[in-house]
Amino acid sequence: MQIWPGAGPSTPGDDLLNRLTFVPFLKRGWNSMNRNYSPEMRERALRMLAETRPSHSTMMSAVRHVAGLLGMSLETLRLW
Higher pLDDT: 26 or 61? It is: 61
Q: Would you place residue 2 in the very low, low, confident or very high pLDDT band (cuts 50, 70, 90)? A: very low
* 45 φ, ψ (degrees, to nearest 5): -65, -45
Rg over CA atoms, the chain = 17
pLDDT of the residue at 74: 92
Domain residue ranges in the chain = 1-34, 39-79
Residue 78 has pLDDT above 60, yes or no: yes
H-only helix segments in 1-80: 14-17, 23-33, 39-52, 59-70, 74-79
Supply the pTM of this predicted model: 0.56
Give me the pLDDT at residue 76, please: 92
Give the tens place of pLDDT for each residue, 6-52. 555 555 555 555 554 544 544 555 445 556 889 999 999 999 999 99
Distance of alpha carbon 1 from alpha carbon 18, whole angstroms:
10
